[in-house]
Amino acid sequence: MGQSAKHLCLVVGTPRGFTRSVLESLLKRGSRVLLSCRDSTVGEMETDRLSSLYGKNQIHFTPGDHTCPLLLESVMVKALDTFGEVNLIVNSTANDPLSLSREDMATAHLEDLEARLDSRLQQEDVQGIRRMARLAVKYMGKQNGFQGGSLLNLTSGVELSSGAGAGAGSCTVLGTTRALGITTRAAEHGVRTTSVFQPTIDYPDLSQAAQITDDSHSPHNKWDRYSAYIRDYTGYMALHVGDTASPGSVWAFNSDLKLEELGPDSLTSSCGITNKMCFWTGCPMFTDSQLDQVAGPYRKEPRREEERQESQEHMDT
């Protein structure tokens, strides 16, 4: 068994598609999991389904909005209260629903709307990684008396798509993950950060490629064995990367469903700063202070300005 078999895990994100595959693979490997997502109905239904398959003590659920730093921290504390420690965090923005605003609906051209949504998806991927990285270092870091652990990010593949990108001044998943995985940082706090883009599967019974769907998760029947295998395989391989890959590495499934590590030439668009700079030195827009300015476990601290702004934005929406 892989290392994740003994992990006490926090899984944050909507339990659909690729995220659901990774969640179920964790349980198959014997991990205990606290699942959290903002849709209580979806989260409770998935927890009930998985509890009936793997046991009630293997998976727990707590609602939480992972876009709000304060609520996300309360989820992290709940995981520590439940398990005593957390060894692995699976942080997913891969299957989060994306709502349309009135401004989006007023967009005249479909191409402009797609570009706007792609930009927003990439921004949410990056912001999600940053929020969870701060908590991972705070509540798993060796500097706070914990044992370290792994942060596995599951993100949309939007920045790999032709023409996608958040534009100048905005970060990429690749640059942000590389910044978090710099050797000196990882050695100090003991948190290994990796990211995996959700796969696009070329199903033989469909006329075009599609994302992993939820039609046939366990228990499987004899009519959907190919799809079931794909779901199990991609979930397992994502966890394998989280266990064994180098800190700061980013991975994607190729057309043959083999995981490949991405480099600066893998992106079709740039943030405005040379991708090679981000790859080798870490994103300069993600500073040490964003990780270092954290308190010890369970100690209250004044809310930082960035958290105030994010919380205010959450309430405004």
pLDDT digits (tens, 9 = 90+) for 85-116: 999 999 999 877 666 666 665 665 666 666 67
How high is the pLDDT of residue 303? 39
Sign of CA dihedral 80, 46, 121, 100: negative
pLDDT in tens, the chain (317 residues): 445 446 899 999 999 889 999 999 999 999 999 999 999 999 999 999 999 999 989 999 999 998 899 999 999 999 999 999 999 999 999 877 666 666 665 665 666 666 677 777 888 898 999 999 999 999 999 988 999 999 999 998 888 875 555 455 567 888 889 888 887 778 889 999 999 999 977 555 444 445 555 554 555 554 466 677 888 899 999 999 999 999 999 999 988 889 999 887 777 665 655 455 666 666 655 655 555 544 344 443 433 444 445 444 544 54
In whole angstroms, give the CA distance from residue 270 to residue 277. Answer: 11
Q: Pick the closest to residue 87 from 12, 130, 133, 139 (CA basis).
A: 139
> 12 with 91: CB under 8 angstroms?
yes
Chain segment 21-71, per-residue pLDDT in tens: 999 999 999 999 999 999 999 999 999 999 999 998 999 999 999 889 999
Give the domain extent around 306: 3-316
- The CATH number linked to 154 is 3.40.50.720
Evaluate if pTM is beyond 0.75. yes
| DSSP H helical ranges for 1-109 | 17-28, 40-54, 69-83, 102-105
Domain count, the chain: 1
Residues 292, 252, 76, 26: is their CA dihedral positive or negative?
A: negative
The answer to whether 64 and 34 are in contact (CB under 8 A) is: no
Q: What 8-state DSSP symbol labels residue 99? A: P
